[in-house]
Amino acid sequence: MSADENQPPRPELVLPGISASQGIAYGPIFVYLQSDLEVPEYQVEKPKWSAEVTRFEQALLATRQQVQKIMAEVEKNLGEEEARIFDAHLLVLEDQALISETIRDFEKTRLNIESCFDRVARRYISAFEEIDDEYLRERGGDIRDVAQRVLGNLLGGHAGQRLTKLAEKRIVVANDISPSDAAGLDRSSALGVVTDSGSKTSHAVIVARSMKIPAVVGLRDLTAKVQATDTLLIDGYEGVVILNPTESTLFRYGQIQRQKRSHEQKLLDANRLPAVTLDGVELPLRANIEKVDESALVKDYHAAGVGLFRTEFLYLAATSMPTEEEQYDSYRRLAEALAPAPVTIRTLDLGGDKPIASQAHLFPKENNPFLGYRAIRFCLDHPDIFKAQLRAVLRASAHGDVRLMYPMISGHEEMRRANAVLAECKAELKAEGKAFDPKLRVGSMIEIPSAAMGADMLARECDFFSIGTNDLIQYLLAIDRVNDRIAHLYEPTHPAVLRTLRHIVVEAHRARIKVSVCGEMAGDPVFVALLFGLGVDELSMTPPLLPAAKYVIRNMKLTDARKLAQQALAMDSAKAIQALCAEFAEERLKA
Ligand code: PEP
Ligand code: MG
């Protein structure tokens, strides 16, 4: 879509979304709809040759139906002429040369059909791009768009997108971004991120928050509304975006930004001081990180070590599974950089909204990925991958206060199975004469209601619990954490959530083990007092959120936090509990 330069400026448009990462950003936009997908390459065995061609035909058909649907929508919303743009896309799908060349390539190489199609399509695209004729060059663009769609269909849920490095400072406006896209964002050029889909706890959003990139998500059809020449303002505090803001809006936001900055500076100044309540209790605040080089952030924000290292990002960024040695090197560097502070390494949590494009063949397409082949379930099914990681963590434990935890544990029996693999790794390392901490502390994440309900049994197998509220809430309330349509139903203060948290804490303390919370709820200053009041021992959050949490702690009494939790547990309205907690936090943040 392009704007006519002679047309009058487009009017200001205020659009509500979901606040995902705080901050205000303003600038020209970069619309990101599709980019090169990572296409795996593997040999197809003889019995599957004809099925592979059928798969290709089905993907072409599915793409055709998708394009027709988009055409109908565009025609309805923008008019018939705009919809005609997609005629060219349909023509590409019927292009016999492209189709038969792909099949010929497959017959020659017997490599998976997406890799054949990708090769042939790329050849076509570059041939068109070199032609010195604008119309034909554009046709290269059409092939590219359609090829990405076909590949997306062939790869199913594993189509990992890539955000290219932006040439200049822009607000990224995307239909969706994957966690690895977000991890690849360049803070100096990506001023902010706005997406049609997503929610507060989608992994891409968690990454944006850790990079301090303002973000608003769940804007439904924003990518269809924008034009390339639009400017956009993101208000990540309120969860609002303003398309083509007027001078007076920009002035108003300039003032808001100055106020916010001075408030943030006040929090940062106090952040050097210990996290001790007014009644003298020290409450540990640790960091959630995704990359080894974030150890610097952990120190900058004065976190008491790492409460959650999401190791899957090591895998998502790589083109093949990282080896034991590579992982050992990463974990050891992290442990050494932060010693004597603890580093809690979580084993691989792939699957769910984190499929791994380079290993697509290991993750079959599923109807319910969040209820499927994910995290510890995948690891227990792939002992070679799991053991490489466990051995690397064990070896790193010789170099600092390393702790280990497993994601998505459903109960004590699964915990025992994971620990049995760990025991095997210990025995092997001992026999090989490789050093590790024999007393390595091992914990379970509590993310599944069955683990919460069976906390008494599970606690006997664990040295600590770490509650992953992002998943625990999604499974407890049956709210898909990345679905923007139901995001308003995702309520951390739902009475059932509070009772579950309390139950976990009581059972853990009965077994004399500690409980941390490392989901996004822990990093929201509104919930800091509630969580500590419920008896949680420590919180772990993305480093930029630490100053606000610490400020609340330094200006509250633990006895008041406990009263707040008691009051909240006696209430039956999620909204009223939220308001009560917000008021408590607001008063402390004003101090
Ligand atoms: C959680 O579920 O709260 C959690 C910390 O794990 P993740 O967000 O990586 O699923
Ligand atoms: Mg989780």
- Sorted by where each begins, the domain ranges of the chain are 9-35+162-246, 46-154, 286-368+382-406+417-443, 447-538+546-591
List C-alpha distances in Å: 446 to 294, 354, 468, 497, 499: 25, 19, 6, 12, 14
Cα of 407 from ligand 2 centre, angstroms? 7
Give the DSSP H or E segment for 345.
Answer: strand 342-346
Please say whether the beta carbons of 411 and 450 come within 8 A.
yes
Please give the pLDDT value at position 228: 79
Closest protein CA for atom 9 of ligand 1: 310
* Domains 46-154 and 447-538+546-591 are alike in CATH topology: no
Q: Could you identify the atom of ligand 1 that is nearest to the CA of residue 518?
A: 5
- CA gap 397, 393 in Å, rounded: 6
Please say whether the beta carbons of 205 and 198 come within 8 A.
yes
Percent helix, percent strand, percent coil in the chain, to nearest 5: 55, 15, 30
Please give the pLDDT value at position 403: 98
- CA gap 537, 561 in Å, rounded: 13
- Per-residue b/e over 316-355, b at no fewer than 16 CB within 10 Å? beeeebbebeebbbbbbbbbebbeebbbbbbbbbbbbbbb
Q: What is the CATH number of domain 447-538+546-591?
A: 3.20.20.60
Please say whether the beta carbons of 413 and 451 come within 8 A.
no
Q: Which of these, 200, 337, 342, lies nearest to 284 by C-alpha position?
A: 342
- CA gap 175, 207 in Å, rounded: 17
Q: Show the low-confidence residues of the chain (pLDDT under 70).
A: 1-7, 33-37, 70, 73-79, 81-85, 129, 133-141, 156-167, 179-181, 183-184, 319, 357-358
Please give the pLDDT value at position 127: 81
Closest protein CA for atom 4 of ligand 1: 468
Q: Could you identify the atom of ligand 1 that is nearest to the CA of residue 203?
A: 8
Q: Which of these, 552, 444, 550, lies nearest to 504 by C-alpha position?
A: 444
Per the annotation, the verdict on 203 as an active-site residue is yes
Please give the pLDDT value at position 2: 39
Peptide bond into 340 cis (omega under 30): yes
Cα of 375 from ligand 2 centre, angstroms? 9
Q: How many CA atoms lie within 13 A of 9 on its CB side?
A: 10
- CA gap 583, 589 in Å, rounded: 10
Other CB atoms within a 10 A radius of the CB of residue 241 amount to: 27
**Does residue 105 line the site of ligand 1, with CB under 6 A?**
no
Per the annotation, the verdict on 425 as an active-site residue is no
Q: Could you identify the atom of ligand 1 that is nearest to the CA of residue 470?
A: 3
The class of domain 46-154 in CATH terms is mainly alpha
Cα of 253 from ligand 2 centre, angstroms? 35
Please give the pLDDT value at position 488: 87
- CA gap 506, 130 in Å, rounded: 68
Please give the pLDDT value at position 138: 60
What confidence tens digit (pLDDT) does each residue in 78-111 have? 557 656 667 777 888 888 888 999 999 999 999 9
Please say whether the beta carbons of 157 and 366 come within 8 A.
yes
What order do you get walking across the sheet with 190-195 strand by strand? 13-16, 240-243, 231-235, 24-32, 170-174, 190-195, 215-217, 18-21
Please give the pLDDT value at position 180: 60
Alpha carbon of residue 161 to chain centroid: 13
Q: What is the CATH number of domain 286-368+382-406+417-443?
A: 3.20.20.60
* Angle at the Cα of 391 from the Cα atoms of 390 and 396, rounded to 5 degrees: 100
Contacts of residue 528, Cβ cutoff 8 Å, sequence gap at least 6: 522, 539, 549, 552, 553, 585
CATH number, domain 9-35+162-246, options 3.40.50.720, 3.50.30.10, 3.40.50.1360, 3.40.720.10? 3.50.30.10
